[in-house]
Amino acid sequence: MGGAFEHNHILATIYGWQRWKGDEHKSGWNEKTLKELICSKCNSEGHFDIYISDTPEIYRKLGLHRNRFDRKHDAHLYVKLKKVHK
């Protein structure tokens, strides 16, 4: 397997690094399937505005930084939920 990353690095990127609780991934997410999952879980909690981005700007604006934010080749979806009170 050629390329910029070792095989184990690629697998950890897909399935999560398992370094702390929540540091695991479900493979195969894209914006549509992630939004569908979020909507299915939020129905009982009320209505949420959902913002999904492939750039970390929503976190940078909050002053948060992770090394992966600087690596354009790292594929991540960044999610922001805002509860809408009706």
Alpha helices in 1-86 (DSSP H): 7-15, 31-42, 57-60
Instruction: Evaluate if residue 9 carries a pLDDT over 70.
Output: yes
- Predicted confidence (pLDDT) per residue in 11-54, tens digit: 777 777 777 776 766 666 788 888 888 888 776 666 788 888 88
Question: Does the predicted TM-score (pTM) go above 0.85?
Answer: no
Q: Where are the domains of the chain?
A: 28-84
Instruction: Tell me the pLDDT band of 67, cut-offs 50, 70 and 90.
Output: confident
* Predicted local confidence at residue 1, as pLDDT: 42
- Coil, strand or helix: which one is 51? strand
- Higher-scoring residue by pLDDT: 74, 43: 74
Cβ count near 71 (within 10 Å): 10
Q: Nearest-CA neighbor of 58 among 75, 73, 82, 80?
A: 80
